[in-house]
Structure 1
Amino acid sequence: MKDVNHERTSSSPRIGWIGIGAMGRPMCLNLLKAGHALTVFDKVPTQCEPVVAAGANAALSARDAAAQSDVVFSTIFDDSSLRALFLSDGGIAAAAAAGQVFVDMSTVSPEASAEVAEALAQRGASWLRAPVSGTVSLAASAQLSCFVSGPREAFAAVQPLLACLTARQSYVGGGDEARVIKLMINMMVFMSTAVLGEGLAFGERAGLDRALMVDAINDSIVGSAHYRTKADKLKQREYGAAGPISLVVKDLDLALAVARDNAVALPISSLVRQYLGMMQQRDLSHLDIAALADVPAWSSAPDGEAR
C-alpha cells in the first residue's frame, strides 16, 4: 500500500467523509480545526451545511467525494446502506484506487464489512474498521475511544488522523475484530441499562427518591461512565434521544446474529431485546437508551403504563 501522503499531496492526505450525522458532524469539524482539507457528502445535503460553513468542500456524490480523497471516512447507518454505498452498481468499491484507505466508523455486521473489504482489496485499496465508543459530546471534544482492525500498515498511516478524532486508538487485529468488539461493548451498555432499571424499580417501590438513587449508584462500586453520562436524563425522566432506541435495536440484533453464528447463548441480551420490543410496541423508538431503565418498573406501576 502506498503511503497516504503520496505525490498528489504535499503535506497531508486529502480527506473525504461520507455520512454527516450526529457523530460524523463533530468529527468532521475536528478535522477542519486541525487544518485538514475535507470533502464531504451526505444523501441529505442539508446535513453537510454546518461542515461546509466551517470550510469543507461539498461533493456531488459519495463516489465523487471518494475520487477526490486519499483517505475516506464513512459513518453509515446499517448493513444495507454500507452495501449500497460500496457494492452496488456505481458504488465506491468499483472505482477505488490503489493506495486509497477507507476508514469506516459505523456499527455494522462483520459479514457486510468483510464483503466490502474483499471488494476494495481487489482494487488495491485498504479497508479499516474503526468503530467508535462514546457520545456526541465526546465526539465534539475528541474524547471518543476507537477500535481499529484491518491492515496494520493502513492503521499506522491514518493514526494521526484518528488522533484528531479520538482520545484512544486501539489496534485489535487484521480482520473484523473491531466490529465484534464494538457490538460486545454496545451489548453490555444495553444490558447494564436494564440492570440499572431493576435497581431503580426496586428502590422506588421501597420509597426511595429517584435522584437520590441515581447519585448513590454513581457514587458506588457499580457506578460507570455510562451511568454518569445518563444521570440527568434518569433523574428527570427526560429521554430526548442522543442514541435512540431504533439504533439500539439495530445494534443488538447485529450482536445476537453474531452470537447465533458462533453458537453462543446470550440469555440476558435476549431478555433486553424483549424489553426493546415492548418499547417499540409503545411507539418509544425515538427515545434515548436511558429510557430502557424504566421498562422493569412498568409492570409494577399502578396503571401498568410507562411513566
Structure 2
Amino acid sequence: MEVGFLGLGIMGKAISMNLLQHGFKVTVWNRTLSKCNELVAHGATIGESPAEVVKKCKITIGMLADPPAALSVVFDKGGILEQICPGKGYIDMSTVDPETSTKISQAISAKGGHFLEAPVSGSKQPAETGQLVILSAGEKELYDEAIPALNVIGKKSFFLGEIGNGAKMKLVVNMIMGCMMNAFSEGLVLSEKSGLDPRTLLEVLDLGGIANPMFRGKGPGMLQGNHSPAFPLKHQQKDIRLALALGDENAVSMPVAAAANETYKTARSLGLGDLDFSAVFEAVKGLK
C-alpha cells in the first residue's frame, strides 16, 4: 500500500518512519520541506504540496498541529481539495474540534472523496513503536480500506460512528490527561515543600490504586527538570481549551479542567509551550 503523509512534527515523523519500516511506500509533505529529508533517507518520496501527495496516493493521512493547520492543508492553494476525487481518501489524525472535522468532511465529500477523522491517543514513543490508540469516525468503507496501515500505526483502532465523535473522544481523553498531569505536579511540589522526598511519593503512587504509566514514565524526569517534548505543552493547553468549549456546548460544568487550563496558560506565558506538557510542573513550582 502506498500512503501519503502530511505534517512531520514529532508525531507525524514517528508515524511515517514506522510505516516505512513496515514496508509501506510513503510520500511525505511538510510545510518546511527540509524536515522530509530524514524520511527520504529511509525510502520516502517528497510531494511538493498536499495536492501533489493526494494525486499520487489513494490514501493520504494528515497529522497537523491545530485546527487552522488542519484546515490549511485542505483549503489553501495547493491543498487537498485540488486533487481529491472519487476513489481517494483522506484521514485526518490531527486533534481538532468537531466543527473542524465536519467542515473538512463536507468539503471532501462534495468533491467525491472519502474522509475519516482518526485522532490518536499516545505520544512520541507509542508513535514510534505502533502502540497508539486510534479514534476513528466517518466513512466506514475508508476505515476498512485503511486497516492495514492503521494496524501498523496503532495497537487498537476504534470506529466511533459519525464525524465528530473521534474528535470529541480525543478531546475528552486529553482533557483528563492534562488535568491528571496538573494534579500530579501539584502533588510533587506539595510533597517537597512540606518536607517529604518527592521520589518516595513516586514510589508510593506506583504501588497504589492510582498507579499509571504516565506518572511512572514522566515523574523521574520531571524531578530532574527534563521536559524533552513528546507532547508539547502548547498542544495540551489547546486541547483543554477545545474540551472546555465542548463542555460549554453541552452545558457540562468542568471546574477542574478550567483551573488546569489556567495553569497551562501560565506555563505558556513562561515560555514553556514547546517543552513537554510535563513542564506544567515548572509553572506549579513558580505559583507555589
Please give the TM-score of this superposition, normalised by the length of structure 2: 0.95
- Distance in 1 between residues matched to 2:191 and 2:26, nearest whole Å: 51
Residue 175 of structure 2 corresponds to 187
- Contact kept, 8 Å, 1:41 with 1:61, in 2: the verdict is yes
Residue 86 of structure 2 corresponds to 98
- Distance in 2 between residues matched to 1:245 and 1:109, nearest whole Å: 18
The alignment status of 1:209 with 2:197, answered yes or no, reads yes
- Contact kept, 8 Å, 1:149 with 1:177, in 2: the verdict is yes
Counterpart amino acid of residue 186 in structure 1: N
Give the number of the structure whose alpha-carbon radius of gyration is greater: 1
Which of 78, 86, 103 is the matching residue for 2:74? 86
- Contact kept, 8 Å, 2:72 with 2:79, in 1: the verdict is yes
- Contact kept, 8 Å, 2:64 with 2:70, in 1: the verdict is yes
- Distance in 1 between residues matched to 2:23 and 2:57, nearest whole Å: 15
Q: Give the drift of 1:294.
A: 4.5
- Identify the range of structure 1 (78-87 vs 140-149) with the bigger mean alpha-carbon deviation: 78-87
- Distance in 2 between residues matched to 1:299 and 1:18, nearest whole Å: 39
Superposed CA deviations along residues 10-62 of structure 1, whole A, max 9, x for unmatched, are xx3x3111111111112111211221211111111121111111001111111
The alignment status of 1:230 with 2:226, answered yes or no, reads no
- Contact kept, 8 Å, 2:233 with 2:278, in 1: the verdict is no
Q: Give the drift of 1:136.
A: 0.6
- Contact kept, 8 Å, 1:197 with 1:295, in 2: the verdict is no
- Distance in 2 between residues matched to 1:25 and 1:248, nearest whole Å: 19
Which of 43, 52, 62 is the matching residue for 2:50? 62
3-state DSSP of counterpart to 2:159:
strand
Counterpart amino acid of residue 210 in structure 2: V
Which segments of 5 or more consecutive residues in structure 2 lack a partner in the other structure? none
Q: Give the drift of 1:215.
A: 2.0
The alpha-carbon distance between structure 1 residues 284 and 31, as it changes in their structure 2 partners (threshold 3 A), is closer
Q: Give the drift of 1:90.
A: 4.4
Which segments of 5 or more consecutive residues in structure 1 lack a partner in the other structure? 1-11, 301-307
Residue 185 of structure 2 corresponds to 197
Q: Map residues 145-294 of structure 1 onto 2, 5 A cutoff.
A: 145-294=133-282
Counterpart amino acid of residue 260 in structure 1: D
- Distance in 2 between residues matched to 1:137 and 1:95, nearest whole Å: 33
Counterpart amino acid of residue 199 in structure 1: G
Q: Give the drift of 1:148.
A: 0.7
- Distance in 2 between residues matched to 1:23 and 1:287, nearest whole Å: 14
Which of 98, 102, 114 is the matching residue for 1:114? 102
- Contact kept, 8 Å, 1:233 with 1:290, in 2: the verdict is no
CA RMSD of aligned residues (A): 1.6
Q: Give the drift of 1:235.
A: 2.7
- Quick one: percent identity of the two aligned structures? 26
Q: Give the drift of 1:150.
A: 0.8
The alignment status of 1:126 with 2:76, answered yes or no, reads no
- Distance in 1 between residues matched to 2:255 and 2:112, nearest whole Å: 42
The alpha-carbon distance between structure 1 residues 294 and 215, as it changes in their structure 2 partners (threshold 3 A), is farther
3-state DSSP of counterpart to 1:173:
coil
Q: Give the drift of 1:87.
A: 2.0
Residue 41 of structure 1 corresponds to 29
- Identify the range of structure 1 (50-59 vs 247-256) with the bigger mean alpha-carbon deviation: 247-256
Please give the TM-score of this superposition, normalised by the length of structure 1: 0.89
Task: Considering fraction of residues, name the structure with more helix.
Answer: 2
Counterpart amino acid of residue 56 in structure 2: Q
Pairs aligned (count):
288
Q: Give the drift of 1:145.
A: 1.0
- Contact kept, 8 Å, 2:270 with 2:283, in 1: the verdict is no
- Distance in 1 between residues matched to 2:66 and 2:272, nearest whole Å: 20
